[in-house]
């Protein structure tokens, strides 16, 4: 699936993408904007958010930067209110905000555990709770939670991150059952090894070994993940809910 071949029209719809300042969040926000949705770009870094908004607007889309700590209930509820009331509707929510604080569990501090769970899982919970109330009343909505293959198979040194991403899958399945009757779908996307500044820093030798473990024989791109999110956000995905779509080139098959 590629963005070039996937034709989705989200004209008149509004979307919120958390963690939109860089990486996957930026790619997903740009894809939604290109599909003509108006996008609220959420993250802590206002300067980087401005770059995402500029990229969307340069392509002819509409977007607005909204700086926010996603673990704070008051901030989250304010953003939902701003979009739903100020923009007239809320159709799509992509919970992508996430951090890592990697270390082996015996050496992991309370703060390293709490920071990751609060951002990755509590943040998604807060946005889902506030957004679902609006979507249920409108009898339409698309909620997409960005998990990870680490939430499916685990990863040494990432017990906090893997737990948060596995928690997102459980949240997705349960919430999907609660909202299906109101025509609100809830799905998860679990990316595998995706190109980023962090992966490039590993060097060619390490990347070569990683590619050997992936049946597709390549590292994924932000557009690979964005294409899946775009489909799940579209009206065409109305009968898909409670699912976790793994985007990893076959690494976990």
Q: What is the DSSP string of the chain?
A: --TTT-----TT-EEEEETTTSHHHHHHHHHHHHTT-EEEEEES-HHHHHHHHHHHHHTT-EEEEEE--TT-HHHHHHHHHIIIIISS---EEEE---------GGG--HHHHHHHHIIIIIHHHHHHHHHHHHHHHHT-EEEEEE--THHHH--TT-HHHHHHHHHHHHHHHHHHHHHGGGTEEEEEEEE-SB--HHHHTT-HHHHHHHHHTSTT-S-B-HHHHHHHHHHHHSGGGTT--S-EEEESTTTT-
Sequence-ordered list of residues with C-beta below 8 angstroms from that of 47, at least 6 positions apart, any chain:
none
Q: Which of 161, 163, 175, 249 is catalytic?
A: 161
Q: What's the token pair of residue 214?
A: 């992936």
Our answer to whether residue 140 is catalytic in this structure is: no
Q: What's the token pair of residue 112?
A: 């390293």
Sequence-ordered list of residues with C-beta below 8 angstroms from that of 239, at least 6 positions apart, any chain:
none
Active site residues: 161
């Amino acid at each position: 699936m590629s963005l070039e071949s996937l034709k989705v029209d989200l004209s008149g719809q509004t979307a919120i993408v958390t963690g939109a300042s860089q990486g996957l969040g930026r790619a997903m926000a740009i894809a939604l904007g290109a599909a003509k949705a108006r996008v609220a770009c959420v993250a802590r870094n206002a300067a980087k958010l401005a770059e995402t908004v500029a990229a969307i607007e340069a392509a002819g889309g509409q977007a607005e930067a909204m700086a926010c700590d996603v673990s704070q209930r008051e901030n989250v509820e304010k953003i939902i209110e701003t979009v739903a009331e100020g923009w007239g509707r809320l159709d799509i929510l992509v919970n992508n905000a996430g951090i890592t604080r990697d270390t082996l569990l015996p050496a992991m501090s309370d703060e390293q555990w709490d920071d990751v769970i609060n951002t990755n899982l509590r943040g998604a919970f807060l946005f889902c709770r506030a957004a679902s109330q609006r979507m249920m009343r409108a009898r339409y909505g698309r909620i997409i939670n960005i998990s990870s293959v680490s939430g499916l198979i685990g990863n040494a040194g990432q017990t906090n991150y893997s737990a948060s991403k596995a928690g997102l899958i459980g949240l997705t399945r349960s919430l999907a059952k609660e909202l299906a009757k109101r025509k609100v779908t809830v799905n998860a996307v679990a990316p595998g090894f995706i190109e980023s500044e962090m992966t490039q820093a590993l060097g060619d030798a390490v990347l070569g070994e990683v590619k050997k473990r992936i049946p597709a024989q390549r590292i994924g791109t932000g557009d690979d993940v964005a294409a899946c999110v775009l489909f799940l956000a579209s009206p065409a995905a109305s009968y898909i809910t409670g699912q976790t779509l793994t985007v990893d080139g076959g690494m976990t098959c």
